[in-house]
Structure 1
Amino acid sequence: MGAAVTPHVVDSHHHVWDLSVRDQEWITGEALAPIRRDFSLTDLLPEARAAGVTATVLVQTVTVAEETPEFLALAADSDLVAGVVGWTDLTRPDAADALARLRQLPGGQHLVGIRHQVQGEPDPQWLLRPDVRRGLAAVGAAGLAYDLVVLPHQLPACVKAAQDHPELTFVLDHVGKPPVASGAIEPWATAVRMLAGLPNTVCKLSGLVTEAAPKTWTVDGLRPYADTVLEAFGPDRLMFGSDWPVCTLVAPYGEVLDVARQLTGSLSDGERAALFAGTATRVYGLRLSEGS
């Protein structure tokens, strides 16, 4: 079955960075060398428009407090960025005040979620620490979502965190980073299904090409992982994300979107509309422009 085209697309997950402003310390080694340069909204805009993307969500890259205000300002001046998933230190006792201050900044109305690089935390139970739990409660009280960027072994803690915070919507980035390159599906699949069993969880259909083997990946190789989350979450709790520019290590922007369309080609028009626009719009409370 060919790729079905949706009327308009919301890209729920991309990044930008300027290495002259601050280093991206995670971009190291030969494999990541092609993205060790600046990526701006000016770079993304023509690719997004050509692919039919009408709105995006800009997501944090580093645990630096100054980045989120910068992203909010970018969103305020952009016709493309409809939301920002930022960062603040959730372990601080005044996390609720910090979130309120972000909302008061230029572009603060574009703050739709918070994320922390949990994948880099050595403690697999980091999300369950008392100080983090207090911060997660503050995110929920602020009406924001919480993005989970985790590795498969951290998914059980995600399940417990979502159980303990029913008032907070948890958004699983990159389908929980399954080991696509190896072809293994367990124990990732079982843990993802457990997370999907909770009503306050949604998932981004993003990052699969990034986890695949760069030169040998195929759409069929990605399909078991996409099918797992499609069955577990359903289209109304799935949202497309490009993971640009990280995805460019493996495939250009337009191809990543085309792959997502191929992986969801069996869905109805209404289900595709949810996955490619509706879920992100609803979960993040995006205010889309007239043309979106």
Structure 2
Amino acid sequence: MQIIDAHHHVWDLAVRDQEWITGPGLAPLRRDFALGELAPQARAAGVDATVLVQTVTAAEETPEFLALAGQSGLVAGVVGWTDLTAPGIADTLAAMRELPGGEHLVGIRHQVQGEPDAGWLLRPDVQRGLAAVAAAGLAYDLIVLDHQLPVATAVATQLPELTFVLDHLGKPPIAGGSLRPWASDVRALAARPNTVCKLSGMVAEAGAGWTTAGLRPYADTVLEAFGPGRLMFGSDWPVCTLASSYGEVVDTAHRLTEGLSEGERAQVLGATAARVYGI
């Protein structure tokens, strides 16, 4: 079974600040996290390949990530960032593919969770950009908060040609133990056949003292809604280190999928990511 970690980050604060790392709760993340730190942990956990995901809205980050992927035996794909509203987005995406490591570009992401406009994804200029992402044969990662799921469903309905990948289950309120209205909203998104979900980010949402039993209702909800063929594991390293070690996150993914058949587990732990991202 090939295991793919479909969601992790790296950053170097000397190169670029991570402005989102604020407050005492995130203080442990205010240091550099390099691929050289992750690689031995991934090998120890049996992870064969990873997908490196953007962290900031800076055009310079994606070429850096592509170059890193080109030099790495671990990173098989990069979900980068570009301005979806730019008139020349199609040319920009094509140019990215020509960069060193450009063959590793598999998707685009924007921090929709931080947009003050609740309908940002439905803006005409954004939808033109998303259509260009689809035309380029790339996926689009949705980083949204739970209350933004209905808008995500609306845009997925309007752009059936684009594969939308929901990061972190849409950030349900795991720490509070609530399933509503998140569960019904995520099921509505899953009803769109062009959507996929990442089994990722749960320990950070649950916080200190999390348990596998506490995560299971959320994992079971997306397993039922999307099915193993549209669900992929991601560690969300290093954000996961706020509440867990990398190895524990991988082990938890195994435990949360232990009720599946071997073929279904293989899909969640690697095959879905390989298919969706073309790895």
CA distance in 2, matches of 1:9, 1:248: 20
Structure 1 position 53, deviation (Å): 0.3
Q: Is the 8 A contact 1:175 1:206 kept in 2?
A: yes
Q: What's the counterpart of residue 219 of structure 1? A: 212
Report what 2:128 is aligned to: 134
> Aligned residue for 1:60?
54
Q: How does 1:97-116 map to 2 (within 5 A)?
A: 97-116=91-110
TM-score normalized by the length of structure 2 = 0.99
| Counterpart in the other structure of 2:273 | 280
How many pairs align? 279
CA contact (8 A) 1:124 1:153 kept: no
Cα distance in structure 1, aligned partners of 2:163 and 2:21:
29
Separation in structure 2 between the aligned mates of residue 82 and residue 149 of structure 1, nearest angstrom: 21
Structural mapping, 1:182-193, within 5 Å: 182-193=176-187
- Within 5 Å, give how 1:1-292 maps onto structure 2: 7-214=1-208, 216-286=209-279
Task: Name the % identity.
Answer: 72
8 A Cα contact 2:69 2:78, kept in partner: yes
1:8 shift after superposition? 3.0
Matched-pair contact (CA < 8 Å) for 2:2–2:271: no
RMSD: 0.6
Unaligned runs of 5+ in 2: none
Does the 8 Å CA contact 2:168/2:200 hold for their aligned counterparts?
yes
> Does structure 1 retain, via aligned residues, the 8 Å contact 2:48–2:74?
yes
Distance, in Å, in 1 between the alignment partners of 2:175 and 2:112 is 22
SS at the partner of 2:48?
strand
CA drift of 1:261 comes to 1.1
Distance in 2 of aligned mates of 1:235 and 1:121? 31
**Counterparts of 2:103 and 2:210 in 1: how far apart (Å)?**
39
